[in-house]
Every structure is written in C-alpha cells, then in structure tokens.
Chains A and B, each alone.
Chain A
Amino acid sequence: MHRRDFLKSTVGLAAASALSRAAQAEEAFLPRPGTWRNYEIITRIKIADPKGKTQAWIPVPSVNEASWFKSESSRWATNARSATLKYDPKYGSGMVHAEWAEDEAAPLIDVISRISTQDRAVDFSKPSTPTPLSDGERQLYTAPTALIPTDGIVKQFSEQIVAGIAGDFEKARRIYDWVVENTSRNPETRGCGAGDVASMLETGNLEGKCADINTLYVGLARAAGLPTRDVYGLRVAPSRFGYKSLGVSSSSVTRAQHCRAEVYLSQFGWVPVDPADVRKVALEEPPGNLSLNDPKVIALRAALFGSWEGNWIAYNFGHDIVLSGSNGPALDFLMYPEAETAMERLDSLDPATFKYLIFAREVTA
C-alpha cells in the first residue's frame, strides 16, 4: 500500500459510521442460519516425482461448533504403506498422514471428508450470555504465534487504532474498519498469502489475500486483548447472494482455499469477521475495482462483521503446526495438502507440479 493511499483512506475513516448506516439500507448479502448444508470434499494427491521416503499430510475438517459447523467423517483410499488420522496437540488441527514405501513409483491418496454447515449471523441488537471462554482458550487466542507477534509494531499499531475506544465490541469493529480501509487485495499473491503481520506493518505493504488481511485483523485484535482466531478453510459452493467473487463456479476447488476470522465478544460469543472478502469483492466484483463507497461493497462491509455464508468449509484454527514424521519446519498454518520426498518438501502452493486436486459437492445428509 502506498503511503499516500494510506493517508487518503485514514482520512476517510471518519465516514465509516455513515457507511455502516448506508449499508443497513443496502443489504443484499444476508446470510441467515436455519438451513444446514452438507458437503463432501475429495482431496486427491498423486506425488509427481517421488524420491525415496515420501509422505503427505492432507488437512481434514476438524472444527466442531454447534451453531454452525460439524466435521463428520474422513476416510481415504491409498496405496500408502500407512495412513492415519492425526491431530496437532495444541489446536486439534486434523490431517491424514500417509507414508509410502520407498520403492513406490506412484504414491496416491484420495481423502474424502464430509461436513455440515450453515450460515452465521450475529444479531448485535440482542446481547446474550454465551458460554464464556475458559482461561486456556482465552490464553490460546490472545497469544502470539510465529507470524503474529502481539508486541512491537503490532501492539503499537493496535494501540493507535483503538486509542480512546472503550468496549470490546467497539474495538473489534474499529479494527475491522481500519483493516478494510487500509488493506488491498493483490491478485498476484501466491496462495492465500503468508500472513506475516509484522512485516506488513513494518514495510507499509498492506496488500495480499485472506491469510494476510484476515491475519492482520487477528494480530491487531489480539494485541488489543481480544481473543481472535483465524479459521482456515475452503470455498465449496457458489454464493447464493450473487457475489461471484465469494464462491466457486465448479466442483473443482483446488485453488479455492480461504481463511476467515472470528473475534470473541462476551455478549455475543465468537463473532465471524472477514475483512479480506470485503477487499476481494471491491477488486473482483464486476465491473471490478469498486470503491468502498460502491453499494455492493458497502453491503458486504456491513455484513462481514457478524455474519458469513455457509458456502465454505472450515479445516482448523491452527498455527505453527508440526507435521508428524517430518524433519522439516513447522507450518505457519495448515490449509493446503503438504508432502515431502526424501529430498525435500514439495511446494504446497503449486498443485500442478505437486500434484493435487480438490473437488467439492453438496450432498444430502
């Protein structure tokens, strides 16, 4: 992001509440819970160039939240010597770990997962008494991770953004508005981005995709003391609200990874937020390069603080994931299939040479 643009958008912040009011009158994007949808996701891996010991780790849905998501079952078919379901001990992020014999010329695995999900929508006019977070959960979701420091420059920015604001709801909303106003989507970013929050703030380059923009939200909110988490997942169906950029157009979803975020507010529980999709709509919805004042963007911006559509599946909330059986480094997050041969780890952002394919379809329960 250029400094001049930053200046422009920051001056525009004063108009944020006016935009919110406009959005209320404009809403075309209205996720509402009530209809559960069931999906089947097939991840197919065929290691293109196996060398010696070959292993793969395939993420499977492992989020269970009674009000919006059930991870139901995962099964697999493979020529691997062994394949087992494993969970990282800190976040419970699930993955199938497959190991092939060293002489296996064509390592293959299909992992088939089923989930149920529905839209989410928080009614901020009706505070409630949700289950409070345990001390452990609060600590986990306010803690720093390898790429989300909560001190230094992240703390400095966070303090400035919420300066003078009392109340967790207001802080969470203010950070959301700041992220929407000051970031931009870069279609050239590989995968979903790296999510290196401190580097983004240090360089002033606040562009990227969901793993950058939503993780920036998570970092700034955690630094403000708000329990916040990334939710790593995959788009699996078109948006029924007519936003082409917020869904997929076919059953092939190999490159449809998308992470969302949640912030915990004591009167509402976990609240869905997705500033990255606001910027995606602004960039991609026809005719493209929409301003934040465009009615479509205004509607989305209002809706994506407090609701999201159930055309997406959640894998996990994890960070700094150690892959069982690997001597390689921990993953910053687990959203793509991972694999390594005796020579090296493969590039999970390059499904064509890796190789992997992901398909999704809606199914009856």
Chain B
Amino acid sequence: MKRIRRKVGSSISIILILLFHWTGTRANGLEAWSGDDISPFQLHDMTGSTIALSNYRGSPVVVHFFATWCRPCREEMDSLQRLVEMTGEGRLTVLAISVAEPAIRVRRFFDIRPINFPVVLDPDRAVARAWRVATLPTSYVLDGQLRPKFVVRGTLHWDDQSIAQTLRMIGTASQ
C-alpha cells in the first residue's frame, strides 16, 4: 500500500512540475528581457542577398527563430503574418530566421505559405547560438534602437490585441 501511495505521489509531483513548466512560463508569453545587449548580425535571405539587422533601426523588430519542421513554428508564422498586417507598413518589422535548414527547403516552405516579411538563413546556428536560442521557436522583441525588450521562448499569439498594444507602446517609446 505504501509503495502504491509513493508511486501515485511521484506521478502527481511530475504532473505538477511539468504542468507548471508548460503553462506557467506561457501565462503572459512576453518575458521582460534582463540579459545583455544582443549581437548584431548579417545573414543571407533565400535568394542570397545580405540582410543586416541594423537595416531595421527605427521601429520595433520581432526577431523570430524558427524551423520548417517545427509544427508550433508553422502555426505561429500565421499569427506573425496577421500581426504585420494589423500593424501596418513601417511601424513594425518581423524578421524571421530559419535555423539550420537548407535554403531550398525554406524556399519551398514559403512557396506554399507566402508571407510579407523577410526571412533569412542561419545555416550553422551561429546567430542562434550568439543569441542563446535554446529551443524553437524563440522570438525577441527589440525596440527602435534594436535593444531587446522581451523574449518569447515558445509560441505566442502575436495578433492578440494585448500583444499588439505592447508592441505599439514600444514603438511609441522608441520615437
């Protein structure tokens, strides 16, 4: 009887801890950034052109690390597209970074899921490592001076009104 009680207790303990992990850190999604500044980067897009993060100074930037194999990433991509549409041109940039995938695979992925924000390639995870991205998806919200304000480890409904409002506030503060 004691053994059964111990086993049940152990299972409940795992449930509570893991539920906390998979729900607790997602309660608000946007985690205030408390680390150092991040490294600037230049990466190639899917056509081979170079894109620098510094090109986007002046308005908030969502730097979104993803992979085409990652199902949560695919779902999140749609909400990022809606966020861009809601926000309007010039007021926010989403810069998606494909992590460790060949360009041809990423091109085909977006051929059937067109988006209207830039996608660049981090084939050897160099930028992902420099930005301490441990899991996919991970996103950083930068202000107009390209200083990190929030990090999102996991998925987020980017088109949620409260998120859009937060991003607008960052944009206003950046001006």
Contact = CB atoms under 8 A, between A and B. Distances in A.
Interface of A: 3, 6-7, 10-11, 13-14, 146, 149, 152-153, 156-157, 160-161, 163-164, 186, 189-190, 193-194, 196, 198-199, 201-205, 207, 328-330, 332, 344-347, 349-350
A347 B68 CA distance: 12
Given A160-B14, A350-B105, 13 more contacts: A11-B11, A13-B14, A14-B4, A152-B134, A186-B71, A194-B69, A198-B134, A202-B135, A203-B137, A205-B72, A329-B123, A346-B102, A349-B105
A203 B23 contact: no
Contacts of A196: 67, 70, 135-136
A153 B6 contact: no
A152 B134 CA distance: 9
Contact of B18 (A10, A203, A330, A350): A10
A219 to B, nearest CB: 13
A332 B100 contact: yes
A57 to B, nearest CB: 14
Interface string B12-27: 0111011101110000
B124 A330 contact: yes
Chain B interface helix/strand/loop/mixed: helix
B11 A10 contact: yes
B124 A193 contact: no
Contacts of A194: 67, 69-70
A3 B23 contact: yes
Contacts of B155: 203
25 contacts: A3-B19, A3-B22, A3-B23, A13-B14, A14-B7, A14-B8, A146-B125, A163-B13, A164-B6, A194-B67, A202-B135, A202-B153, A202-B154, A203-B136, A203-B154, A203-B155, A205-B72, A329-B125, A332-B100, A344-B104, A345-B104, A346-B102, A347-B102, A349-B105, A350-B105
Nearest to B136: A199
Contact of A345 (B6, B69, B102): B102
Contacts of B11: 10-11, 13-14
A207 B74 CA distance: 14
B104 A6 contact: no
Contacts of A164: 6, 10
Contacts of A7: 15, 19
A341 to B, nearest CB: 10
Given A6-B22, A205-B71, A199 B135 contact: yes
Contacts of B154: 202-203
Nearest to A207: B71
Contacts of A204: 22
A196 B101 CA distance: 13
A6 B102 CA distance: 33
A161 B18 CA distance: 10
A246 to B, nearest CB: 24
Contact of A157 (B18, B102, B105): B18
A7 to B, nearest CB: 6
Nearest to A149: B134
Contacts of B108: 347, 350
A227 to B, nearest CB: 24
Contacts of B7: 14
Contacts of B4: 14
Nearest to B71: A205
Contacts of B23: 3
The 10 closest A-B pairs by CB, nearest first: A202-B135, A329-B124, A199-B135, A204-B22, A345-B102, A329-B123, A199-B136, A194-B69, A347-B105, A198-B135
A198 B153 CA distance: 11
Nearest to B134: A198
B123 to A, nearest CB: 4
B163 interface: no
A13 B68 CA distance: 33
Nearest to B26: A204
A11 B9 CA distance: 10
B104 A347 contact: yes
A194 B136 CA distance: 11
Contact of B70 (A146, A157, A199, A346): A199
A254 B119 CA distance: 31
Contacts of A329: 100, 123-125
B164 interface: no
Contacts of B68: 190
Contacts of B102: 344-347
Contacts of B123: 328-329
Interface string B95-123: 00000101111001000000000000001
